[in-house]
Amino acid sequence: MPEPLLAVRALDAFYGDFQALFGVSIEVAPGEVVAVIGANGAGKSTLLKCIAGAMRSRRDAIVFAGSPIGDEPAHTVVARGIALVPEGRRLFPSLSVEENLVIGGQLGRSGPWTLARIYELFPALAERRHAPSTSLSGGQQQMVAIGRALMSNPKLLLCDEISLGLAPIVVREVYARLPSIVAEGSSLIVVEQDIVQALKAAKHVYCLQEGRVALTGPTASLTREAISAAYFGA
Amino acid sequence: MNASFRVEHATRSSHVGTVVFAVGFVVLAAAPAWGGRDDLRLLSEIYAYVALASLWNLLAGYAGLVSVGQQAYVGLGGYVLFASTILAGVHPLVAVPLAGVIAGVIALPVAGLMFRLRGHYFAIGTWVVAEVFRLISSQISALGGGSGISLPAGIVTAMASSRQMREFLIYWVALALVVAVLAAIVLLLRSRYGLALTAIRDNELAARSNGVDVTRTKLVVYILTAFGTAMVGALIFLQKLRISPDTAFSVNDWTAFVIFITVIGGIGRVEGPIIGTIVFFLLRQTLADLGSLYLLMLGAVAIAVMLMAPKGIWGLIAERFGWQLLPLERRLRFAADARTT
Amino acid sequence: MEWINIIVQGVLIGGLYAMFAAGLALIFGVMRLVNIAHGDLIVLAAYIALMTTDTLGLNPLIAIAIVVPIMAAIGYALQRALLNRTLGDDVLPPLLVTFGLSVIIQNALLEVFTADSRRLKAGAIEVASFPLAEGVWIGVLPLLQFVVAVAVIAGLQVLFYRTALGRAFRATSDDQSVAQLMGLDNRHVFALAMALSLAVIAVAGVFLAVRTNFDPAIGPARLIFGFEAVIIGGLGSMWGTLAGGIVLGVSQAIGAQIDPGWQLLAGHLTFLLILAVRPEGLFPKVQG
């Protein structure tokens, strides 16, 4: 059986005294799209933050391409090839659209994603490249955030609630780009509260409930009832 | 259900503390009987620093207004004393509260300007104000200009019949002043203003959204602190018998030492400045005349404390043992409770 | 004519004040820290220049090339070892730690160099001057210092808005945790910012040492001048800082002309006046 690209093993996470994750284990194979769904506060963002290094964990709780990285800080994790599109987009307000993209690539990792390629993927951004990043619409800002993460040529892209605050038609536009991203060689973890798009895009799904994996399996084989039960808790 | 309650402030340790303070007060009040001239002078200096540090602590540790310019009010107090006694024939001991009142009045427009600055910039702004006071005072030739002036003998002898009586008198006033300052601070913190201050200290935004008028509370604290600081300043220079712009508005004497005392003793707790002053004077007695090396070490110790034990000596003790020396806790005691402490 | 000379002198020294201010504003912009030891670091730079010129026999203006890297290295180390640990939401720790640092630097310099007043000699350039117009003379050294100040500020602008390092500064200042996601190590970025600030301070310190007598105690006054220039000019704008420095310099020059004892006071009063009527400064940058 091929080695998974990412293996999260029995991950616990705490905010002070509050435990947000209890022994969470997930796997992502190379070239795979995995969805992590769950209600508000289920621990989805926490999981992504731990993977990305924004929160420190036990060293062997997170294994990426065979190396344990659980205790590494965010700036070394991204050098290894994991990029996070943060919840709420969090563009840099002092930087223009193009500067946001360029700084995403400041590590200089080689790969298919260049500034030109990003503008090909998101043509609307090319027209507004010098505008202050925060002057764009929500959907365009989301594209900048994704582009910024892609500029580091990640092997694994983490998308934290990219549909948040966007109109359904815009959400569809954004999700329509995901296959191109996978085609260029990145694996994806897509975290969503809105499960429709997530389930359409992903081959494998994990459902978190109050910090635990309540359900997992290939998307195709899971029933609506099972997902609902796992999502809300029986 | 109608629950009636009252607020209790004391704990067992604060009972002990209050007793210690009471006993200490009696002993210190009797100091003219058991102590010599030098002892009285040293004690007066200690009282002055306890008062100044407590006031700075109230301003910075509770109201969050970190000023590095309180020397403005120390010097102002001194100069008002000298000016009113020399130029207007006011009795020196009346000049002390007068200095406080004038400082309080001046503090209002100063605050109006300074409150336009935030955080670090506020701190430097207060320093500028102190510099302005210093420069203005060195322009006043009636008070000696840049070289300063001594208190005329006539004013000094008019205070009491003998030199010894004069020294006792100033000593008692110094003791009374520090006790008054501490008592006022404790009462303020026990009042609703105090509750507002503690809320501001913990989380200004949350305090504001709970209806605390943050600006007004800070203004009141700033003015009261100026009032107290100036009175202490007036007394300090009454004792020194001489004033000059550089000594009156010295950053080292009235701000650096005060800040280090409070940081080392424990910011944000009333006991902190008291502990800090004791530590400071113990160090000074043992390290004697090391001059600039002493200040250097003090600065290094303060930095180390700030980085490694930011709550200071008393903060460590209070957290470890849950003690408080003064009754400042707040507990709700419901009528239905039959429990005792 | 006298008045035009006064104004010109004021403008030129304003350049020096703007340099004091630039280092201060840079640090505040990147990490919201106001370095109370800023003025004392300027004095430290002056003493390092003194030691350099004494041992190597160089002209102080050449010695800048040595003092700058030394100060930059000190800045990097200072931030990494000490000041990074004070950063956070609480205003108190960085303020108190830099205040303690100020006291330490002043007293260390006092121990090593005593309170004697010093001055660096730059040779003939100190007294050289040329006529700008009828009866108006400009000293070559003050003019040089002003030009250098403008160059430094222009250089900082270019750095901030057209280089990768500047992008890193702006991004880290905007959002520290997301900047980490870009591969930026905050501790390193902040240390670079402090190194840059101290490099600017180094240049300012050497010019100060050539221009006036200096001793360990004059640091706080330089901090205040820099601070006043920043506030008068307006937060967030480097060119505003230059304007603020000039306004301060001119105020002081006018004050000195009225009465020598009024020089500093005039500057402070101008600052307080601006604070009273236009607290956002003369040229504040409006953030989009």
pLDDT in tens, A60-74: 999 999 999 999 999
Backbone angles phi, psi at A213, to 5 degrees: -75, 110
Chain B's closest residue to C39, CA to CA, is B124
Q: What is the pLDDT of residue B341?
A: 47
pLDDT in tens, B267-324: 888 889 999 999 888 888 877 677 778 888 888 988 998 888 888 888 888 888 777 7
Residue B134 to residues A201, B21, B72, C271, Cα–Cα distance (Å): 71, 37, 8, 16
pTM of the shown model: 0.88
Are C110 and B292 an interchain contact pair (Cβ–Cβ within 8 Å)? yes
Size of interface A-C (CB pairs under 8 A): 69
**C277 contacts chain A (CB < 8 A):** no
Pairing status of strand C136-139 against strand C129-133: antiparallel
Backbone angles phi, psi at C163, to 5 degrees: -125, 165
Q: Identify whether the C-beta of residue C245 lies closer than 8 Å to the C-beta of residue C195.
A: no
pLDDT in tens, A6-35: 999 999 999 988 999 999 999 999 999 999
Two tokens, residue A92: 């840099």
Q: Residue B318 belongs to what domain range?
A: 8-331
The long-range contacts involving B21-24, CB below 8 angstroms and separated by at least 24 positions, are B21/B325, B21/B326
If one counts every other C-beta atom within 10 angstroms of the C-beta of residue A174, the result is 19
Q: Which residues of A touch C192 (CB under 8 A)?
A: none
Share of chain B above pLDDT 70, in %: 94
pLDDT in tens, A32-43: 999 999 888 888
Q: Identify whether the C-beta of residue A215 lies closer than 8 Å to the C-beta of residue A226.
A: yes
Chains B and C share 3 or more Cβ pairs within 8 Å: yes
User: Which among C28, C261, C279 has CB closest to B139?
Assistant: C261
Two tokens, residue C141: 């050294």
Q: Which of B71, B128, B293 to mutate to test the interface with C (most CBs of C within 10 A)?
A: B128
Count the domains in chain B.
1
Fold exhibited by the domain C2-277: ABC transporter involved in vitamin B12 uptake, BtuC (1.10.3470)
> Is B208 domain-assigned?
yes
**B307 contacts chain C (CB < 8 A):** yes
The residue-averaged pLDDT of B160-188 equals: 90
Q: In 3-state terms, what secondary structure has residue C185?
A: coil
Distance, in Å, from the CA atom of C232 to the CA atom of B63, rounded to the nearest integer, reads 27
Q: Residue C287's pLDDT band (boundaries 50, 70, 90)?
A: very low
> Is B336 domain-assigned?
no
pLDDT in tens, C233-282: 987 778 999 999 999 999 999 999 998 889 999 999 999 999 999 888 88
Collect all residues with Cβ–Cβ distance below 8 Å to C60 and sequence separation of at least 6. C49, C53, C120, C121, C122, C206, C209, C210
Burial-class residue C2 by CB neighbours within 10 Å (0-12, 13-18, 19+). Answer: exposed
Q: Which residues of C touch B268 (CB under 8 A)?
A: none
Q: Identify whether the C-beta of residue A124 lies closer than 8 Å to the C-beta of residue A147.
A: no
Two tokens, residue B212: 């605390």
The residue-averaged pLDDT of C205-216 equals: 93
Distance, in Å, from the CA atom of A83 to the CA atom of A146, rounded to the nearest integer, reads 9
Backbone angles phi, psi at A167, to 5 degrees: -65, 150
Are A78 and C177 an interchain contact pair (Cβ–Cβ within 8 Å)? no
CA distance C237 to chain A (A): 13
Checking if the pLDDT of A59 tops 70, the result is yes
User: Which H or E element spans position A28?
Assistant: strand A18-28
Q: Identify whether the C-beta of residue A194 lies closer than 8 Å to the C-beta of residue A163.
A: yes
pLDDT in tens, C14-30: 999 999 999 999 998 89
Q: Is B17 left (phi over 0), alpha (psi -120 to 50) or beta?
A: alpha
Q: Identify whether the C-beta of residue B217 lies closer than 8 Å to the C-beta of residue B63.
A: yes
Q: What is the mean pLDDT of chain B?
A: 87
Q: What is the pLDDT of residue B5?
A: 72
> Is B162 domain-assigned?
yes
Distance, in Å, from the CA atom of B142 to the CA atom of A231, rounded to the nearest integer, reads 82
Which residues 193-232 of C have a C-beta within 8 angstroms of B?
220-221, 223-224, 227-228, 231
Distance, in Å, from the CA atom of B37 to the CA atom of B167, rounded to the nearest integer, reads 8
Collect all residues with Cβ–Cβ distance below 8 Å to C51 and sequence separation of at least 6. none
Q: What is the pLDDT of residue A130?
A: 93
Q: Identify whether the C-beta of residue C14 lies closer than 8 Å to the C-beta of residue C247.
A: yes
Chain C's closest residue to A94, CA to CA, is C170
Distance, in Å, from the CA atom of A174 to the CA atom of A183, rounded to the nearest integer, reads 15
Distance, in Å, from the CA atom of C251 to the CA atom of A190, rounded to the nearest integer, reads 61
If one counts every other C-beta atom within 10 angstroms of the C-beta of residue C275, the result is 22
Of C40, C15, C34, C24, the C-alpha closest to C230 is C24
Q: Which chains touch B (3 or more CB pairs under 8 A)?
A: C
Q: What is the dihedral of CA C158, C160, C164, C168, to 10 degrees?
A: 180
**B108 contacts chain C (CB < 8 A):** no
Q: Which residues of A touch C167 (CB under 8 A)?
A: 95, 99, 102-103, 106
If one counts every other C-beta atom within 10 angstroms of the C-beta of residue B309, the result is 14
Provide the sign of the torsion angle of the four alpha carbons C41, C65, C14, C244, taken in this order.
negative
Distance, in Å, from the CA atom of B99 to the CA atom of B233, rounded to the nearest integer, reads 9
Distance, in Å, from the CA atom of C236 to the CA atom of A139, rounded to the nearest integer, reads 30
ipTM: 0.89
Distance, in Å, from the CA atom of A170 to the CA atom of B246, rounded to the nearest integer, reads 68
Checking if the pLDDT of B156 tops 50, the result is yes
pLDDT in tens, C17-76: 999 999 999 998 899 888 999 999 999 999 999 999 999 988 888 999 999 999 999 999
> What's chain B's Rg over C-alpha atoms?
21
Amino acid at residue number B167 = E
pLDDT in tens, A87-98: 999 999 999 999
Collect all residues with Cβ–Cβ distance below 8 Å to C40 and sequence separation of at least 6. C101, C102, C105, C106, C109, C219, C220, C223
Q: Identify whether the C-beta of residue C4 lies closer than 8 Å to the C-beta of residue C138.
A: no
User: Which among A54, A102, A152 has CB closest to C183?
Assistant: A152
Amino acid at residue number C288 = G
Distance, in Å, from the CA atom of A205 to the CA atom of C223, rounded to the nearest integer, reads 59
Give the single-character DSSP code of C118.
B
CA B59 distance to own-chain centroid: 9
Highest average pLDDT, of A127-131, B189-193, B287-291, comes from A127-131
Two tokens, residue B338: 């039959």
Work out the angle at residue A90's Cα, subtended by the Cα atoms of residues A89 and A91, and round it to the nearest 5 degrees: 100
The residue-averaged pLDDT of C144-166 equals: 94
Residue ranges of the alpha helices (H) in chain C?
A: 2-31, 38-56, 60-81, 92-113, 140-162, 164-174, 176-181, 186-211, 219-233, 238-258, 263-277
Highest average pLDDT, of B167-171, C32-36, C224-228, comes from C224-228
pLDDT in tens, C179-196: 999 999 999 999 999 999
The long-range contacts involving C107-110, CB below 8 angstroms and separated by at least 24 positions, are C107/B292, C107/B293, C107/B295, C107/B296, C107/B299, C107/C216, C108/B292, C108/B296, C109/C40, C109/C43, C109/C44, C109/C47, C109/C216, C110/B292, C110/C216, C110/C217
The DSSP annotation for C223-244 comes to HHHHHHHHHHH-TT-HHHHHHH
Share of chain C above pLDDT 90, in %: 70
Distance, in Å, from the CA atom of C184 to the CA atom of B253, rounded to the nearest integer, reads 43
Share of chain B above pLDDT 90, in %: 43
**C91 contacts chain B (CB < 8 A):** yes
Q: Identify whether the C-beta of residue B295 lies closer than 8 Å to the C-beta of residue B280.
A: no
The residue-averaged pLDDT of B215-219 equals: 90
> Is B53 domain-assigned?
yes
Pairing status of strand A82-85 against strand A156-160: parallel
Amino acid at residue number B188 = L
Q: Which residues of B touch C33 (CB under 8 A)?
A: 120
pLDDT in tens, C74-86: 999 999 999 999 9
**C92 contacts chain B (CB < 8 A):** yes
pLDDT in tens, B108-141: 999 999 998 888 889 999 999 999 999 999 999 8
**CATH number, domain containing residue B168:** 1.10.3470
Checking if the pLDDT of B339 tops 70, the result is no
Q: What is the pLDDT of residue C3?
A: 84
Selected residue with higher pLDDT from C192 and B160 = C192
**A86 contacts chain C (CB < 8 A):** yes
Chain A's closest residue to C189, CA to CA, is A75
Chain C's closest residue to A51, CA to CA, is C181
